Amino acid sequence: MGFEYDKVEVPSDGTPIQVVDEDADELDVPENPIVPIIHGDGIGKDVGPAAQKVLEAAANATGREISWMRVYAGESGREKYDENLPDDTVNAIDEHRVAIKGPLTTPVGAGFRSLNVALRQTLDFYSNVRPTYYLDGVPSPMKSPEEMDMVTFRENTEDVYAGIEWEEGTEEVEQVREFVEDEMGFDDVMHDGPIGIGIKPITEFGSKRLVRKAIDYAIEHDRDKVTLVGKGNIMKFTEGQFTEWGMEVAEEEYPDEEVFAAPDSLWETQDEIDIPEDAVMVESRLADAMLQWMQLRTDEFSVLAMPNLNGDYLSDAAGAQIGGLGIAPGANFGDARVLAEPVHGSAPKRAGQNMANPTAMTLSGRLMFDYMGWKDAADLVRDAVEETISSGKVTYDLERQLDDAEKLGTDEYADAIVDNIEELA
């Protein structure tokens, strides 16, 4: 039995996506699926409809039809429901299993909780997946940006993003301070005066399912390496444990000829490792060193898996190497469910000006298509976006960095991509 909606209409011409096997991540996707979409806050009002137009064109070009189901959150949620994250929206994404959203605004230091984090945790989208690859024609600060082809799996529900913290000056924070000092014996780090305290939970359950998802992705997409990233030399019982649990997954849950868990002693001598042919190698690296290796040895890495905060930092750093977050796609994977979303924020000062670059949200839709099994449509989206950019037809953020480029508005840029989809199909 489906959900009932208060202020959302379910498209009558679409067919709901069905779950075949949740544990195996298997969906039955019809040729005319119902897909909820949140345009988003700020520039979401511009990039949301633009990306929707491109994705619809790619679906049509491959003989399919998307029945879009408009749902609301953030500013649009407050306008329609007087709340940031209405039940209609949560239920629609839950029921229909595949959805896409634009950026939603999160105030810094005050205000309401991150809606992005709330959606991930409420619906258990525990893997934040960010592919980072270079598109021909995009200006980049790196000498060889084309060497970047990396997919980051960031744990989505734990770590400091779990939001367990206490504000300075409250009775609660003083109770926690007293417990840590008197009961746990950490009085040497609790200085006098105002203090804020947070807790960083990392569980075996959360760590293992994230690493399992990353390894399965590597196997399915013919990638040769999964790198577990954490600061385990300092945070031994959280991030260090993440790496240990991840290695247990590689060692215990997959046959040796499919997945090879590399011991730490072979960190610098991987070329000498006798890895079974076609096996995925699972290794580990320290988070701070990884920031360096991403730049110096970019082509040595393929799939990265890591706790929440490291994943945020490292995926943004990877995005900078291929031209910035304006073109960086992302999605949240759960068990037989996906919520695609761009990496960038809502940039409210550019909202409504027909200037924003919709590439990130468009390529997030490409990742959504890939999850749905529409690989032909997914490839068509990427090829058409790359053809548009390499021909010099770009939005203002790229045009100002290029010579002899043609500056297009958000809508016109989306139209140019659609034209290329029709030519390439």
Residues with a known catalytic role: 161, 231, 288, 312
Q: Which residues are within 8 A (CB) of 265 and not within 5 positions of it... i.e. 6 or more apart? A: none
Distance CA 279, CA 179 (A): 48
**Per-residue exposure over 272-295, b if at least 16 CB sit within 10 Å of its own CB, e if not:** eeeeeeebbbbbbbbbeebbeebe
DSSP state of 342: -
DSSP state of 181: I
- Is 420 within any annotated ligand binding site? no
Question: Hey, how many other C-beta atoms are within 10 angstroms of the C-beta on 186?
Answer: 12
Chain center to CA of 343: 7
- Is 357 within any annotated ligand binding site? yes
Classify the phi-psi angles of 388: left when phi > 0, otherwise alpha if psi is within -120 to 50, otherwise beta: alpha
Task: Please state the length of the chain.
Answer: 425
- Is 396 within any annotated ligand binding site? yes
- Is 120 within any annotated ligand binding site? yes
- Is 154 within any annotated ligand binding site? yes
Binning the chain into helix, strand and coil, the percentages to the nearest 5 are 45, 15, 40
Helix (H), strand (E) at residue 407: strand 406-407
What own/partner pairs with CB < 8 Å and gap ≥ 24 does 278-281 have? 280/215, 280/218, 280/219, 280/223, 280/224, 280/225, 280/226, 281/224, 281/225, 281/226
- Is 354 within any annotated ligand binding site? no
Chain center to CA of 257: 30
- Is 400 within any annotated ligand binding site? yes
Write out the DSSP string of 212-247: HHHHHHHHHTT--EEEEEE-TTTSTTTHHHHHHHHH
DSSP state of 58: H
Distance CA 11, CA 51 (A): 19
Q: Which residues are within 8 A (CB) of 170 and not within 5 positions of it... i.e. 6 or more apart? A: none
3-state secondary structure of 388: helix
Binding residue numbers: 105, 114, 116, 120, 130, 154, 312, 357, 396, 400
Binding residue numbers for Mg(2+): 312
Binding residue numbers for D-threo-isocitrate: 114, 116, 120, 130, 154
Binding residue numbers for NADP(+): 105, 357, 396, 400
